[in-house]
A and B are shown apart, each in its own frame.
Chain A
Amino acid sequence: MGDPTGEPGSSMHGVTGREQSFAFSVASPIVHTDKTAKFDLPVDTEHKATVFKLFSFSKPHMRTFHLSWISFSTCFVSTFAAAPLVPIIRENLNLTKQDIGNAGVASVSGSIFSRLVMGAVCDLLGPRYGCAFLVMLSAPTVFSMSFVSGAAGFITVRFMIGFCLATFVSCQYWMSTMFNSQIIGLVNGTAAGWGNMGGGITQLLMPVVYEIIRRAGASAFTAWRIAFFVPGWLHIIMGILVLTLGQDLPDGNRAALEKAGEVAKDKFGKIMWYAVTNYRTWIFVLLYGYSMGVELSTDNVIAEYFFDRFHLKLHTAGLIAACFGMANFFARPAGGWASDFSAKYFGMRGRLWTLWIIQTAGGLFCVWLGRANTLVTAVVAMVLFSLGAQAACGATFAIVPFVSRRALGIISGLTGAGGNFGSGLTQLLFFSTNQFTTEEGLTWMGVMIVGCTLPVAFIHFPQWGSMFLPPSKDPVKSTEEHYYASEWTEQEKQKNMHQGSLRFAENAKSEGGRRVRSAATPPDSTPNNV
């Protein structure tokens, strides 16, 4: 699946927990291993690794993986660093509930735009500089928390810090230059999930750092400002590590100059058109807003909620809140895996049902969280809610690669932006006004999750069907080739620009489910092991 030439969109393969060819190594005969290359990991002809060795730091592939996910995670740490300290900050800055809510909305809004720009930045400067530039130029925004004296300053600084979440794009982009597209699904999914963990790590890190500074003698209103230096230093450290230890491509850094012009780039306007006119894109934008979006919203409100509702100490509330974000470590990959597993027996219909079940379950647990009156029930409900929401993120991106082959990059970007938009919206509706208490807000957010997950039923592929409808009976329209080739005009087809889509269509036949799998295996498909 995917193709090794690096066409637009192939870098976004995955962002899922596991893709169809879920494997730690490439077993396909069409990927030729380059035996002359001297790398620690086996590589293909482009010197991209064909094996994903998690606990290795071998240069350059695994080193890139670790630099990349840790940088992304650092940005999550600083974006959500204020959240667990809000009980202190709100007293220092005399904030109202609206101010706190607006700051939360601001923290996730900036990256809607910065993520869109980041793709171009990576094209221009390469992912290594893209990542380093973003991380080191956003360090001043983190340090500027020490100057904040009121609501306006607080909201502005949280907005500016939020821009650094665009490291998501540089992370995925960088992975795609280092890892073969057959395993990029797992690699990208792991990197994304572990990056999101930063939103959980910060809930525990910041209260602990605050406590230490307090004990060292600082007053409360000074201690939280000093605590912000820690994420600021992390930015600087990661930026320097990326610059000194990282490299853009397996063979070095300057090869990018030589490679320019090798790949015929597709026209942005055309790709945008196919992305925007495919109705499934918009359903996924909505869906991701209620899996990733609610995850981000919860990262912002959950520590304060436990602190206020259950009269906990700051670091106890932080510990509980951390459990929410840290579940990403395995929950997101698990969602992708569940999708792949159901696809084995029920094809695309299985994937759609899996997504609906997981995301709806998450919504119901969110309702339970809002209604929980004792600490223990609240914690249990929160953990189950986190599993549901995060696994749904993984399951979403297990389907997105099939929505379009030509416009995958833009659709992935739009879906990601939908996540941030959903987060801003839920925070604005439920956590910024006096209309709802936080527990009521959580309950209604859960109800909204269930409601906004229903549109999964409308996702229909002519070649595979949908949740309730069978595939099209038309002999032409019910082929994978027809669906993916329909994104190209006749003129483009005559120039053979659609070859990548046809190869993809061939590999995608397994989404038909068991009945297709039992037919003769196509010669160039990857065996589904594990």
Chain B
Amino acid sequence: MAIHTLLFASLLIFSLIPSSREGNKGRLFSVLQNSLDVTVLEAGKDMVTIKWKLKSSGKVDADATFKTIQVKLCYAPISQVDRPWRKTHNELFKDKTCPHEIVSKPYDKTPQSLDWTVDLDIPTGTYFVRAYGIDGDGQEVAYGQSSDEGRTKNLFSVQAISGGHVSLDIASILFSVFSVVSLLVFFVKEKKKAKLEQRE
């Protein structure tokens, strides 16, 4: 009972920490300006080259409020089917389209380029890249993405690692065999012992 109360109490304390971070709820994706130009080029077996710059067709001082640029890897709609944990929401704090951060750096008004090696924990799927322009308060003010508005063009796919290793498979088989064999050895030994003792 005491352990349970302790767990529950520490749980309440844990829970108070994240709830204080929900200050900027309600920020919508649809209010963001599409003022960034993002392009993605496949550059090797596990690398992509990402380029971003301010759109020349937009307002001259569209980037006045940018303090940070955050570039993220996002799921294309086809990779979101039947997977509600990747769902697109208009509220930015709820939106799960872009869970993987590629880079977050201070905003430099010049066009940028990055060669990014795809992380080992990126799942198999179809993706595009989105960049958010973030102001001094940590709020998103603008975005740009490598795909179109419907997120159907210029997509690229990633084939993930399986996570399996030969050494893992071997260890797995060894322990399984050990389990079965030691059981049978015990069983046979005890039966033999019982037979011997019965004869006495």
Contacts and interface: CB of A to CB of B under 8 A. Distances in A.
B163 A225 contact: yes
Interface in B139-198: 160-165, 168-169, 171-173, 175-176, 178-180, 182-183, 186-187, 190, 194, 197-198
A336 interface: no
A136 B19 contact: no
Ranked nearest first, the 8 interchain pairs of A and B with the lowest CB-CB distance are: A221-B163, A140-B176, A96-B82, A91-B123, A220-B121, A139-B179, A219-B120, A143-B172
A525 B35 CA distance: 85
Contact of B84 (A133, A232, A329, A437): A437
Contacts of A341: none
Interface string A226-260: 10010011011001100100000000011001000
Interface stretch (A51-59, A170-178, A318-326): A318-326
19 contacts: A91-B160, A98-B82, A136-B180, A137-B183, A139-B176, A144-B176, A146-B164, A147-B164, A220-B121, A221-B161, A222-B163, A225-B168, A236-B179, A257-B194, A311-B18, A319-B14, A329-B4, A375-B18, A379-B12
Contacts of A375: 15, 18-19
A229 B163 CA distance: 15
B11 A149 contact: no
A330 B83 contact: no
A224 interface: yes
Given A235-B179, A239-B179, A308 B85 contact: yes
Interface of A: 87, 90-92, 94, 96-98, 129, 132-133, 136-137, 139-140, 143-144, 146-147, 149, 219-222, 224-226, 229, 232-233, 235-236, 239-240, 243, 253-254, 257, 308, 310-312, 316, 319-320, 322-323, 326-327, 329-330, 374-376, 379, 383, 434, 437-438
Given A139-B176, A308-B85, A437-B84, A225 B164 contact: yes
B161 A383 contact: no
A151 to B, nearest CB: 11
Contacts of B171: 146, 229
Nearest to A307: B85
Interface of A is mostly: helix
Interface residues of B, number: 46
B42 to A, nearest CB: 21
A137 B1 contact: no
A278 to B, nearest CB: 37
Nearest to B194: A254
A379 B8 CA distance: 9
A225 B16 CA distance: 33
B175 A139 contact: yes
Contact of B160 (A87, A221, A308): A221
Interface centre among B8, B121, B163, B179 (most CB of A within 10 A): B163
B41 interface: no
A162 B15 CA distance: 33
Interface centre among B14, B124, B183, B194 (most CB of A within 10 A): B183
Contacts of B47: none
B179 A136 contact: yes
A122 B50 CA distance: 64
A163 to B, nearest CB: 15
A477 B163 CA distance: 67
Nearest to B122: A91
A219 B176 contact: no
B85 A221 contact: no
A115 to B, nearest CB: 21
Contacts of A144: 172, 176
